[in-house]
Structure 1
Amino acid sequence: MTGKDIPGLEEARSAIPAGTKINVTFLGNEDLEMRVAAAKAVKDMGFVPVPHISARRLASEAQLAEYLDRLQQVGASEHVFAVGGDPAEPEGPYPDALSLIQSGLFEKYGTNDVSIAGYPEGHPDIPEDVLWRHLEDKYRALQERGLDAVILTQFAFDTDPVTAWVDEVRRRGISSEIRIGTPGPAGIKRLISFARRFGVGANALIVKKYGFSLTNLMGTAGPDRFVTDLAAALAENPASGDVKLHFYTFGGLLATSEWARDYLTGRA
């Protein structure tokens, strides 16, 4: 959710199981008060807030400390997502998520686990070898500081690169929980637009496998096929370890929450 989504969270709360992790984004057009209010709302409604910390949007160490302090005051600093962020040039002393981890401020303000980014289908601006090195460096840095790591991935359409990437994560000795990014139900045009923006594969073969066609972009698509196929693939490979889902709510909190509830009911 964003800082503006508190009404949407209120609308969806009855469809979301208590204790669900809900990420709160760090957008450039939102301020400290909006981010803290959103994290507090998540906590007050019985869920687990995971505020994003965007390294390149932070102007100073004092700004990071203030944000973590405010989060701690509302009981929302235990779980955070450290990410580099969008700006091409850092606005302050933190060029990437690793520098946030190495600041020592997470431990100071009561953080227990830090989510870090994973890219099963690569990143449009970062070479694959650099992505792997960064992932390993962040994982080791968190281990050295006694913090748990959670790998939160960009959303994907195709199970094959996801399962291959999970296998490689484990081969490299990284045993932390992985949460595979999954787009909730949303308009097909919007899904493809987001996919292209973030470098996620959206060619004809993949979207056909996902359940729709590039020649017919009307309507809404849900992740039924992707989730079902991923669950089956992971069940066949116990070495995958602890793998869960993280939903990107492009179509809204309520639509995604209702989809997840109905999917589980159907599977039961």
Structure 2
Amino acid sequence: MPGVADVLTDVSLEITAADREDLGAAAVALAPGTSVAITHLSTQTGDEHLAAARAVADLGLTAIPHLAARRLSTADELASTLSAHEDQGTSERVMVVGGDPREPHGPYSEAAQVIESGLLAAHGVREVGIAGYPDGHPAIPSEELHRLLVRKLDAIAADGMDARIVTQFCFDVDVVLAWVAGVRAAGIDVPIRVGVPGPAGVRRLVSFARRCGVRSSATLARKYGFSVTSLVGSAGPDRFLEGFADGLDAGVHGDVRVHLFALGGLDAAAGWLARHPATA
């Protein structure tokens, strides 16, 4: 049975473009080549996002820029964004998400349309990350989520690219493990990264959970290691990862790794990783 150090082997990290200034100090806690995804917030420009990806690569880490479908105004904007990443060597791996705007800014209303555009492979993309939702989605029924997942995986394979599923975080380890087992039972064998929040203030964790449609009942909060009634203090992923390691079965769950969201800041996430080294 694996332990926490085992499941942190090949851990990946998710940051924002605003974390670029802290990358140098945090990189000492990361193994060379560590995958670092850069989410594209509405408050950050395309140039800032591009510069953050370049900063990640300059530190010997693997940049994974996010492409937010509903934030793209035109197909030309998608092509120029990919071209800019290709020029600076950060286009081989991307994460394609729907994005947070309620209404699309242009022709893409969902991630599948970006993947099906043919532009990713044309600009050197070799691996595409797509989202998984163990807790479900507040606006999309479970059956539709599965149909979209299969559609995206088929489109990725049709263009000769590899796929990886990165899940939204969830406070219930049993739900996550059951979701992964269900994906495998459906015949999907691509690598999965289970999203886990890094150390963060309780108020911030609950705020992100509500924004993303993640359940945060009092029972789940206690199970994860915090209280939703006081909203004080902070919580880390230790208890979740212990349960995850205990329940993980390679024969059932396949290739599963951890993806750490730096919700409490890059310094906190890197510090936690430094205190919890993975197995070699």
**TM class by smaller structure:** over 0.9
Matching residue of 2:262 = 249
* TM-score relative to the length of structure 1: 0.96
Aligned counterparts, 1:34-73, within 5 A? 34-73=48-87
Are residues 1:232 and 2:246 paired?
yes
Which of the pair has the greater relative contact order for Cα pairs under 8 Å at 6+ separation? 2
Which runs of no fewer than 5 residues in structure 2 stay unpaired? 1-14
Aligned counterparts, 1:10-159, within 5 A? 10-159=24-173
Give the residue type in structure 2 aligned to 1:264.
Answer: P
Give the residue type in structure 1 aligned to 2:150.
Answer: E
* TM-score relative to the length of structure 2: 0.92
Q: Cα offset for 1:237?
A: 4.8
Provide runs of 4+ in structure 1 moved above 3 Å: none
Contact 1:224 1:263 survives alignment (8 Å): no
Cα deviation digits, residues 223-246 of structure 1 (max 9, x gap): 001011101111x35221110111
Matching residue of 1:211 = 225
Out of 210, 216, 222, the position equivalent to 1:202 is 216
Name the SS for the 2:260 alignment partner.
strand
Q: Cα offset for 1:254?
A: 1.6
Change (3 A) 1:14 1:162: same
Cα deviation digits, residues 7-30 of structure 1 (max 9, x gap): 121221111211111111122222
Name the SS for the 2:277 alignment partner.
helix
Give the residue type in structure 2 aligned to 1:74.
Answer: Q
Question: Cα RMSD over matched residues?
Answer: 1.4
| Distance (Å, rounded) in 2 between the aligned partners of 1:150 and 1:37 | 24
Cα deviation digits, residues 81-121 of structure 1 (max 9, x gap): 00111112211111111111111111111000000010000
Contact 1:15 1:254 survives alignment (8 Å): no
Matching residue of 2:181 = 167
Q: Cα offset for 1:214?
A: 2.7
Q: Cα offset for 1:217?
A: 2.5
Name the SS for the 1:94 alignment partner.
coil
Name the SS for the 2:226 alignment partner.
coil
Give the residue type in structure 1 aligned to 2:86.
Answer: Q
Percent of aligned pairs sharing the same letter: 46
| Distance (Å, rounded) in 1 between the aligned partners of 2:209 and 2:91 | 30
